[in-house]
Chains A and B, each alone.
Chain A
Amino acid sequence: MKYMEIRVRLCKILILIMAGIAVAVPVVNAKIVVDVNRGHADPLPIAITDLIGNESDIISGGSVKNYGQRIALVVKADLTRSGLFQMVDSAAFIKSANPLTTLRNPNFNNWKAIGAQALMNGSISLQEDGRLKVEFRLWDVLGSNQLTGLRYFTSPKNWRRIAHLISDAIYKRLTGESGYFDTRVVYISESGPATARVKRLAIMDQDGHNHVFLTNGKNLVLTPRFSPTAQEITYLSYFDDNPRVYLYNIDSGKQEILGDFPGMTFAPRFSPDGNKVIMSQAFKGNSDIYVMELTTRRIQRLTSHTAIDTSPSYSPDSRYVTFNSDRGGSQQIYVMDADGKNIKRISFGKGRYSTPVWSPRGDLIAFTRQYRGKFYIGVMRPDGSGERLLSESYLDEGPTWTPNGRVIMYFRQQPYDSRGRGGETQLWTVDLTGYNERQMITPLDASDPAWSPLIR
């Protein structure tokens, strides 16, 4: 009997334990799970404040405070041009009694109130050695925490570059990829009538400032391309009516002929490691693709076909080359192994495809497409899928990528009117969304741009 009683009691206890667990477990784990797969692609609202500086410290070009304001303006312009950020109007900023105290401890509620989701503040001061000390901090307003903070020491004449470096740091921290503001663009500056066009090699910062002509215009220059690793440009120039591929060192101003090839060489482009130049060479009426090692000057032929093969461009891992060819009857884009094997056509749309350029990210190839009297700049995946056209006009051509693969620059020619007026050429940029299309302002007409890698 005792055993029976014990059993019954134990069973009761057991049932109670089990019931308790059955109730408790789900309550402990109670949570609602929401899947969100729709959102908005609006620019991120960011507040950029002037760098706080001393008005009484004067250096060439203005006071330190003035430099702080100018740096903030350049940062704002950079980020706005990217299309990914929206500047919060500085008129809405709530002034602090002592701005210096808020540098390390911003009042996030104030910034939240005016709609800012990110905030940049900072200071600038003059050092005893005549250099500027520039420091900034980037804050997550909603999370009330610092995202990044950097300090630079530089000569006052480099203030613009410091501003671009700050823009790059902000861009990288908020988008996850490298910025492209501390870069330059080399292009062909054009002037004069169509029958006697003067073409000069020119270089400028990516925002159009610090513009310099590199050649005097005596000889025709075409297709400039940046080296990915050094401040070098390769381009095609006609000297004594002979087209040759040249190397130009931006720092030293030195120029040299890359090679003396039989026939005509054109469309040169560096390999991603900067050790090779890939180009087209026309010989006896046939154009094929060649690659030259810069150290040994050894040349290797990659294609051998009766069709015109041109505009080669390496993939970022150097394993593949894309080029255009009319071997299929019309001009189309092809991809082959870096040794010239396994040639595959990847473009199959209507019209003609040309000037393929592999994105530095490796995920896309930019191209020019001509169809029904219009030109388009577009992108497709390296297997030819996912073609998207980003720009359209009377004549768009010659895409070049930013080092982060987010933006494409190209040149656009305006149509001629019935009196023969028009035909101006300009540089334009468009980002991968296709919505943020902007004109770059240049002193003269401009064509054939090439975006530099990040300046080191």
Chain B
Amino acid sequence: MRDAVIISVIFHFVVMASGMVALPMLRPDRPDIMKVIPIEVIKIGDVTKLRTQEKKPDPIIKKPNKKSPERKVEMPPEPPKLASTMPLPDMKSKPKPKKKTTIKKPTKVTSKRAPRITPKTKPRRFNAGKLAVLLDKREQSEPDILEKLKDRDYGKEKVISTIDIQQQTLSLIDAIDKHIYDNQCWNIPAGAKGAEGLRVTIRFRLSPEGELIGSPKVVDSGRMNSPGQEFYRTAAESALRAVRKCAPYDFLPKAQYDLWRDMEIIFDPEHILSS
């Protein structure tokens, strides 16, 4: 009897589990993407409160210094503003006596830069207000999404949070949208009748180098080939041309390849044609 109950419970679980695999549409898409994709990234964390929280435990920083000094070499590219928010006194005292010449370089850089923005109070503890100010500054002086993506230092973040990935995804989306617009890849089917029904979704896969793998596909290809849907076909073909013309997407950070390997772009001319 007990066996039967156990087998029954297992069977139910297996059915539920297979349902999750076979019917992914039952779950909301984006939250899942945010939660699970394993990513090692990124400098967006530089401006989030989460990151400063990660940096809090000093001992964790000390340990890698002892065991793997190479990692320290990667530190200098950090922006000066961030250096000022780090616990400077600790940084000065730790690396000097312990490490080799390779370790000195970063400390010099930080110590040179630090005095310019040295805070009046010792920032030993997390100061949410100042970080918020920093965050604002960053947003105002945001140079170029594509440049930022290229300049990223990918190897150091240790903790992945939902917000981090959300920000990365948003940055990628902005970058792709900007790339398509700036390179004039999408030529809108001007003057088409029924612009509100001409929303086209193109699905494609990219190589790590940003090249198209195979042909981009129109998601609603059935409608594309239906009689009486000539305007939709035209819109779909203009979207396909846009995807092809904009390739390669080599500006996308390789470290985030898992995020952008499979892509869907929705081309929606409604706002443009109705304005």
Contact = CB atoms under 8 A, between A and B. Distances in A.
Interface of A: 3, 6-7, 10, 14, 17-18, 21-42, 44, 84, 117, 140, 142-143, 172, 174-177, 361, 363, 405-406, 431-433
B35 A26 contact: yes
A378 to B, nearest CB: 16
B17 interface: yes
B233 A36 contact: no
A40 B184 contact: yes
Contacts of B60: none
Given A25-B21, A142-B244, A433 B32 contact: no
B259 A41 contact: no
B190 A32 contact: no
Interface string B1-37: 0100010001001100100110010010110110111
Given A22-B36, A29-B32, A34-B263, A42 B234 contact: no
A36 B231 contact: no
Contact of B181 (A24, A38, A41, A172): A38
Interface string B168-189: 0100110011001100101111
A177 B231 contact: yes
B263 A36 contact: no
Contacts of A143: 215, 237, 240-241, 244
Contacts of A84: 190
Nearest to A175: B234
B265 A176 contact: no
B193 interface: yes
A363 B244 contact: no
Contact of B268 (A22, A37, A433): A37
A30 B32 CA distance: 8
Nearest to A45: B187
B245 A36 contact: no
A405 B191 CA distance: 10
A24 B22 CA distance: 12
B241 A39 contact: no
8 contacts: A6-B6, A29-B24, A30-B261, A37-B268, A38-B271, A142-B245, A143-B237, A176-B234
Q: Is the interface of A mostly helix, strand, loop or mixed?
A: mixed
Given A25-B32, A175-B189, A177-B230, A34 B241 contact: no
Contacts of A25: 20-21, 24, 27, 32, 36
Interface in B132-186: 169, 172-173, 176-177, 180-181, 184, 186
B187 A40 contact: yes
A23 B36 CA distance: 7
Given A25-B32, A40-B187, 16 more contacts: A17-B17, A25-B24, A27-B37, A29-B33, A32-B173, A32-B263, A33-B264, A35-B177, A39-B180, A41-B187, A117-B187, A172-B230, A176-B192, A176-B233, A177-B193, A433-B191
A30 B272 contact: no
Interface of B: 2, 6, 10, 13-14, 17, 20-21, 24, 27, 29-30, 32-33, 35-37, 169, 172-173, 176-177, 180-181, 184, 186-193, 203, 215, 230-235, 237, 240-242, 244-245, 258-272
B188 A36 contact: no
A39 B270 CA distance: 11
Contact of B24 (A28, A34, A39): A28
A432 B273 CA distance: 11
A31 B21 contact: no
Nearest to A83: B190
Contacts of B264: 31-34
A30 B21 contact: no
Contacts of B244: 142-143
Given A140-B241, A142-B244, A432-B191, A36 B6 contact: no
B60 to A, nearest CB: 26
A28 B29 CA distance: 12
A3 B173 contact: no
Contacts of A33: 29-30, 173, 263-266
Nearest to B190: A41
A30 B6 contact: no
B241 A117 contact: yes
Contact of B190 (A35, A363, A433): A433
A405 B32 CA distance: 47
A41 B267 contact: no
A410 B22 CA distance: 61
Contacts of B241: 117, 140, 142-143
A142 B241 CA distance: 6
Contact of A431 (B173, B176, B191): B191
A36 B265 contact: yes
B161 to A, nearest CB: 15
Nearest to A6: B6
A26 B37 contact: yes
Given A32-B259, A35-B266, A431-B191, A117 B24 contact: no
B6 A7 contact: yes
A23 B235 CA distance: 37
A106 to B, nearest CB: 16
B188 A174 contact: no
Contacts of A363: 193
Contacts of B177: 34-36, 38
Nearest to A386: B274
A39 B188 contact: yes
Contact of B230 (A7, A31, A176): A176
B14 A176 contact: no
B193 A27 contact: no
